[in-house]
């Protein structure tokens, strides 16, 4: 798995590529999120356009990272989640408290984040 990071204004877009099965790639993703938060980044967008598969481990990671991010005033949202991932994990995403914001496209997510 590759992990791209782009800065677009005050938003950092994290783009994992390939399959997120757990293990090393989940650790890379978690480390990238916490480094961004530790560096003072307040808006993080996880763009899953290049992610073909996600196992339960990355979703558990999202479920644990998101509430902590919110408590540190970090906005974390997702975009471009493919249909396969949505079918498997869509209901789980709704259980994360507070709910994760999910956008159909990167553009929609960036627009929403720019209004904050």
| pLDDT band (50, 70, 90) for residue 2 | confident
**Token duo for residue 52:** 């073909």
**pTM of the model as a whole:** 0.89
Q: Are 33 and 47 in contact (CB under 8 A)?
A: no
Instruction: Tell me the per-residue pLDDT of 8-22, one tens digit each, with 9 for 90 and over.
Output: 999 999 999 988 888
Residue-wise pLDDT tens digits, 76-115 = 899 999 888 887 776 676 677 777 888 999 999 999 999 8
């Amino acid at each position: 798995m590759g992990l791209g990071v782009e800065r677009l204004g005050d938003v950092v877009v994290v783009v994992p590529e390939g399959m997120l099965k757990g293990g090393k790639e989940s650790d890379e993703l978690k480390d990238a999120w916490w480094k961004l938060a530790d560096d003072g980044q307040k808006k993080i967008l996880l763009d899953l356009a290049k992610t073909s598969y996600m196992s339960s481990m990355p979703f558990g990671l999202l479920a644990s990272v998101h509430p902590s991010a919110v408590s540190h005033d970090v906005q974390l949202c997702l975009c471009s989640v493919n249909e396969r991932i949505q079918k498997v994990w869509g209901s789980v995403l709704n259980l994360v408290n507070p709910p994760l914001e999910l956008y159909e496209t990167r553009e929609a997510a960036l627009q929403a984040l720019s209004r904050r």
